[in-house]
């Protein structure tokens, strides 16, 4: 009887270890609370629903992004919004205490990024390219690039154990053309979870229904009711995938890509692991379906 119990324990333990090893750990960096949501929200939901681990990290606390409040008051609002969004996305959400509009690619911030990647035991790291209109966005890209490779160096940030392998580093999609346009290597169709993505994004009320409409001069056109706001946000964030993105999606989905309405694209950064096609399918298992 004792031998049977021990055998059952061994089988269960082995199964749990195998299950854990099969899980993919993805960490996404943005400059502000809501940036990760826009760039990778649909992909994050799909991964989370499949049982994988996703974490969003905002490198600033967003304490400058509003017309009627700022500083500590606004930071509290944005952190609370990020926490709610994380629940709706099914991800962990961390907001670092750097001031909005003042992010710099310092050694201190690089070490923060390295620690976050290591603590998450990341297989995939996603961040914006360092080409953008906003300095915080640009420097987020620089900081994450600078963390690549360094995450495996034991003598850098030695208080957190180094990763055993360099993760795959990816750039999220953008429309900037200089010095070079975005070139997707991975395309994830998010049609099935687009409504959930919009609902999760809507947790950032201070941004999508106040600050950004104010900067665009359309604050008076924002609906007062939740249904109207969701419709507004969905229309705002809906865009027909361009030819380059559709071609990339076709590589992974075949003819199914031609009818896709919502696609999130990612470009492989040269500074991280260079995955094979099969490895990409393991890291993004929705591409196998």
Write down the pLDDT at residue 239.
86
pLDDT tens figures, 159-168: 999 999 999 9
Q: How much of the chain exceeds pLDDT 90, in percent?
A: 91
Tens digits of residue pLDDT in 118-143 = 999 999 999 999 999 999 999 999 99
| SS3 per residue for the chain | CHHHHHHHHHHHHHHHHHHHHHCCEEEEEECCCCHHHHHHHHHHHHHHHCCCEEEEEECCCCCCCCCCCCHHHHHHHHHHHHHHHHHHHCCEEEECCCCCCCCCCCHHHHHHHHHHHHHCCCCEEEECCCCCCCHHHHHHHHHHHHHCCHHHCCCCCCCCCCCCCCCEEEEECCCCCCCCCCCCCEEEECHHHHHHHHHHHCCCHHHHHHHHHHHHCCHHHCCCCHHHHHHHHHHHHCCCCCHHHHHHHHHHHHHHHHHCCCEEEEEECCCCCCCCHHHHHHHCHHHHC
Query: Band of the pLDDT at 21, cuts 50, 70, 90?
Result: low
User: What is the average per-residue pLDDT within 182-205?
Assistant: 98
Alpha carbon distances (Å) from 183 to 34, 134, 253: 23, 21, 18
Q: Please give the mean pLDDT across all residues of the chain.
A: 93
pLDDT of the residue at 22: 85
Question: Which of the two residues, 3 and 102, has the higher pLDDT score?
Answer: 102
In this structure, are residues 171 and 131 in contact, taking their beta carbons and an 8 Å threshold? Answer: no
Asked if the model's pLDDT at residue 79 lies above 70, the reply is yes
Give the pLDDT confidence score for residue 122 in this predicted structure: 98
CA 169/CA 148 separation, integer angstroms: 7
* Residue 197 near residue 41 (C-beta atoms within 8 A): yes
Residue 9 in this model has a pLDDT that exceeds 90: no
Statement: residue 6 has pLDDT above 80? no
At the fourth CATH level, the homologous superfamily of domain 23-288 is: LmbE-like (3.40.50.10320)
Strand partners, 92: 55
Q: Percentage of the chain surpassing pLDDT 70?
A: 92
Confidence of residue 238 (pLDDT cuts 50, 70, 90): very high
């Amino acid at each position: 009887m004792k031998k049977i119990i021990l055998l059952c324990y061994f089988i269960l333990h082995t199964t749990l270890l195998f299950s854990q090893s099969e899980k993919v750990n993805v960490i996404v960096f943005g400059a502000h609370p809501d940036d990760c949501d826009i760039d990778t929200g649909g992909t994050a939901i799909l991964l989370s629903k499949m049982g994988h681990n996703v974490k969003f990290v905002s490198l600033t606390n967003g304490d400058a992004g509003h017309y009627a409040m700022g500083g500590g008051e606004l930071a509290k609002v944005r952190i609370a919004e990020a926490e709610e969004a994380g629940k709706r996305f099914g991800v962990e959400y961390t907001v670092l205490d750097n001031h909005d509009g003042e992010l710099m690619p310092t050694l201190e911030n690089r070490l923060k990024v390295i620690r976050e990647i290591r603590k998450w035991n990341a297989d995939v790291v996603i961040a914006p390219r360092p080409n953008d209109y906003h300095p915080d966005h640009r420097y987020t890209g620089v900081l994450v690039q600078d963390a690549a490779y360094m995450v495996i160096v034991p003598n850098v940030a030695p208080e957190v154990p180094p990763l055993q392998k360099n993760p795959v580093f990816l750039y999220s999609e953008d429309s900037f053309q200089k010095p070079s346009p975005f070139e997707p290597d991975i395309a994830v169709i998010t049609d099935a979870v687009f409504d959930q993505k919009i609902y999760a994004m809507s947790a950032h009320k201070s941004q999508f229904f106040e600050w950004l409409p104010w900067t665009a001069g359309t604050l008076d056109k924002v609906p007062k009711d939740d249904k109207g706001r969701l419709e507004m946000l969905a229309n705002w964030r809906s865009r027909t995938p361009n030819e380059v993105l559709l071609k990339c999606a076709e590589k992974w989905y075949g003819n199914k890509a031609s009818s896709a309405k919502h696609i999130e694209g990612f470009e492989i950064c040269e500074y991280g692991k260079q995955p094979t096609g099969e490895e990409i399918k393991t890291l993004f298992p929705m591409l196998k379906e």
